[in-house]
Amino acid sequence: MTTIVLFPSVLGVRPGITDAADLLREHGHEVVVLNPADAPVSDDYDTAIARAQAIDEADLQARLARAAADVPGPFVVLGFSFGVVLAESLALQRPDDVRGAVLFAGAIPLEYLHGTWPAGVPVQVHETLEDPFRDPGFAEALAGDVEASGGRAEVFHYPGSGHLFTDASKADEYQPADAALAWERVLELLDRIEG
């Protein structure tokens, strides 16, 4: 059984987040959902993004450390969109505890987080090619950072433009076939980590 620390997007702990947690629990994993940015449930990206951007970076890192303080290691971090920043940041804050990272709808090269990836820790990135929020090349840059540390990096691109493409409650973004394939790949990674 793997402990997974799951971070939502700026849209908060939507049904897609609770569905993801339930799916992982059904496969025997323990899931801790953390929302250190206190993002309320929303459908409005513009307002939610502005709210998240108003949080000072140092404050966000401090909130993250406090929120995760009681989560024992080892664990895998999993983030959706803005939650990717939090997932990667927790991996950098607690390099001795993190065993893997799964990043949906985003990836942040480490030059922006001012850190070095924990040695040997694997990463999966899942994103759609036409995602309007995607930063082209970011996933590949992070993969290079991970591989430089001795970790295995997998970047999976899916057709379409769904940002939160695994969230069935976002009818305009949900891509069910791609979501199923993505979760299959995530579960395979978790099996490898458990060894």
Q: What would the DSSP string read from start to end of 67-123?
A: HHTT-PSSEEEEEETHHHHHHHHHHHH-TTTEEEEEEES----GGGTT--PPTT--E
Which tens digits make up the pLDDT trace of 3-15? 999 999 999 999 9
Considering the chain, what percentage of its residues have pLDDT values greater than 90?
98
Measured distance CA(91)–CA(161) in Å, rounded = 28
- pTM: predicted TM-score of the whole model, two decimal places: 0.97
Pairing mode of beta strands 75-80, 30-33: unpaired
3-state helix, strand, coil in the chain (%, to 5): 40, 15, 45
Number of structural domains (the chain) is 1
CB 165 within 8 A of CB 105: yes
- 87 pLDDT band (50/70/90 cuts)? very high
Is the pLDDT reported for residue 1 higher than 90?
Answer: no
In CATH, what number is assigned to the domain containing residue 173?
A: 3.40.50.1820
Pairing mode of beta strands 3-7, 30-33: parallel
Show the domain range for 35: 3-194
Q: Give the mean model confidence (pLDDT) for residues 66-90.
A: 97
Phi-psi sector, 19: left (phi>0), alpha (psi -120 to 50), beta: alpha
- Range 169-177, long-range pairs (CB < 8 A, 24+ positions): 169/14, 169/15, 169/16, 169/19, 170/14, 170/16, 175/128
Is the pLDDT reported for residue 96 higher than 90?
Answer: yes
